[in-house]
Amino acid sequence: METRKKGPSGRPRGFDADQALERAMLVFWEHGYEGASLAALTDAMGISATSVYAAFGNKQELFRKAMERYATGPSDYLVRALEQPTARGVATELLAGTIRTTTRPSGPQGCLGVQGALAASDSGREVRDLLADWRNDSCCRIQERFRRAADEGDLPPGTDPAVLARYVTTLAFGIAVQAASGVCGDELRAMADAALRTWPPV
Amino acid sequence: METRKKGPSGRPRGFDADQALERAMLVFWEHGYEGASLAALTDAMGISATSVYAAFGNKQELFRKAMERYATGPSDYLVRALEQPTARGVATELLAGTIRTTTRPSGPQGCLGVQGALAASDSGREVRDLLADWRNDSCCRIQERFRRAADEGDLPPGTDPAVLARYVTTLAFGIAVQAASGVCGDELRAMADAALRTWPPV
DNA sequence: GAAGTTCCGCATCGATCACTACGGAAATCG
DNA sequence: CGATTTCCGTAGTGATCGATGCGGAACTTC
């Protein structure tokens, strides 16, 4: 499993795979998995369908890679939120990051992990389940962080980390829906500020 | 515009249009607007495509009628919530109704108004905007109810009805996403109880 | 019964879906 | 250079999409 190039490698590909994946992610983000046709994807990526399948497998694999890129790119605020020193900081950073990413002026509105495939036909069931797992995993990671906060005395006694994690992720997913509906960031920030003023909701 | 039957009416339709629309709504609810194919719809409705177009126009019109049925059926908890005597009662009934409808054991999980068309291709843009308007309208009606509550002294001075309405609808939409992810009703109820324990979040 | 109207199953429309076979062009090797 | 390997544009695969034309059957009113 050498990463070095060895042997006759033939003609190298004539496009930037990273840039192509970035553009594919934006199309999936805006139109969802099933709403993004191969024609729309290849058009945005600037390459032919042949190149897409040679470089990424098929549409489903392309979406998986686009989702990974989304998780480590536009959605990396989750990691930064988990690194906050206090539970309140975690919630604050999570909601602020969600609002920032879902209402960015240039780019799709909403969250790829939510609107990528919330409901789908039978052929899109796997992708739908993939995103559901991603959302539940996000909730679990926050729950673990809140459990640690409870152990550290950062949360009032009797606070249930699971309920608290479900609460902040519900707000985050709701923000994603509001953003997809065209609600602006300022209004969502005012809402998040109000919600965080009573923290934690024991 | 008589509702009576007059003149030669020809052969009456051989199916129950109300029942067919109910079944179409369930298919749209589960698979979304674009994820519900005409084949799946006609199969569930028990009638041919010809009958669908004769009775409901086209797929988009069928969805509009299904959405109206959803608003006055499974989603009628919104009206009951708005009729509650206190602002706290409005929020409590809204969240309870949302959880009840989005996690019913038999039937689709989630909310048709959210997952019906959160992201869509170009051909589904009109339906997507229709649902976005429905969501924003729901928020506006709640905002008006909270404004009345503020006038009646039912809310602390300085409370912004718009922010409060955005808060409860964000929770409701988030609940719909959680339900679509397979989260059970009990867990969501515990979360809603915690959120309502600190009310209002001024 | 006769005339008129509507229903609806069958077959199919063109468009688009995700996907791929083919082959010439281009680049890397010895 | 020649040989080899890979890329990728063109064209087209069968399947499915939403939506209809047709015509016989069924039901109405007269």
On whether both A106 and A26 belong to a single domain, the answer is: no
Residue A23 lies in a domain: yes
What CATH number does the domain containing A128 carry? 1.10.357.10
On whether both A100 and A161 belong to a single domain, the answer is: yes
On whether both B93 and B152 belong to a single domain, the answer is: yes
pLDDT of residue B202: 79
Q: Is B119 on the interface with A (CB under 8 A)?
A: yes
Sign of CA dihedral B10, B13, B18, B21: negative
Instruction: Please count the residue pairs, one from chain A and one from chain B, whose beta carbons lie less than 8 angstroms apart.
Output: 161
Which of these three, A8, A26, A58, is where a domain ends? A58
On whether both A53 and A93 belong to a single domain, the answer is: no
Mean of the per-residue pLDDT values of chain A: 94
Q: What is the pLDDT along chain B (202 residues), one digit of tens a residue?
A: 333 344 567 788 889 999 999 999 999 999 999 999 999 999 999 999 999 999 999 999 999 999 999 999 999 999 999 999 999 999 999 999 999 999 999 999 999 999 999 999 999 999 999 999 999 999 999 999 999 999 999 999 999 999 999 999 999 999 999 999 999 999 999 999 999 999 999 7
On whether both A117 and A175 belong to a single domain, the answer is: yes
Residue A64 lies in a domain: no
Q: Is A102 exposed, middle or buried (0-12, 13-18, 19+ CB in 10 A)?
A: buried
A2 has a pLDDT exceeding 50: no
A164 has a pLDDT exceeding 90: yes
Residue A123 lies in a domain: yes
pLDDT of residue B11: 84
Residue B202 lies in a domain: no
On whether both B154 and B190 belong to a single domain, the answer is: yes
Residue B9 lies in a domain: no
On whether both A93 and A137 belong to a single domain, the answer is: yes
Average the pLDDT over A91-107 and give the result: 97
Say how many C-beta atoms besides its own lie within 10 A of residue B5's C-beta: 7
Residue B124 lies in a domain: yes
Residue B109 carries which DSSP code?
Answer: S
On whether both A182 and A92 belong to a single domain, the answer is: yes
Q: What angle do CA A152, A154, A157 make, to 5 degrees?
A: 90
Query: Are B110 and B179 spatial neighbours (Cβ–Cβ below 8 Å)?
Result: yes
Closest CA to A195 of B150, B88, B81, B198: B198
Q: Is A124 within 8 Å of B35 when comparing Cβ atoms?
A: yes
Q: Provide the chain B residues 24-43 that lie in CB contact (below 8 A) with chain A.
A: 30-32, 34-37, 40
pLDDT of residue A14: 86
- The structural domain count of chain A equals 2
On whether both B92 and B135 belong to a single domain, the answer is: yes
Closest CA to A35 of A145, A136, A128, A148: A128
On whether both B106 and B128 belong to a single domain, the answer is: yes
Which of these three, B33, B49, B70, is where a domain ends? B70
Which of these three, B38, B54, B70, is where a domain ends? B70
pLDDT of residue B102: 98
On whether both A80 and A29 belong to a single domain, the answer is: no
Residue B2 lies in a domain: no
Residue A177: give the domain boundaries. 74-197
Distance to chain B for A144, nearest Cα, Å: 16
On whether both A79 and A36 belong to a single domain, the answer is: no
Report the residue from B119, B174, B177 with minimal CB separation from A32: B119
pLDDT in tens, A58-96: 999 999 999 999 999 999 999 999 999 999 999 999 999
What CATH number does the domain containing A23 carry? 1.10.10.60
Q: What is the DSSP annotation of B62-78? A: HHHHHHHHHHHTTTTHH
Distance from residue A142's CA to nucleotide D17's C1', rounded to whole Å: 42
Residue A7 lies in a domain: no
Report the residue from A132, A160, A187 with minimal CB separation from B181: A132
Q: What is the DSSP annotation of A63-93? A: HHHHHHHHHHTTTTHHHHHHTSSSHHHHHHH
Confirm whether any atom of chain C, the nucleic acid strand, is less than 7 Å from CB of A60. Answer: yes
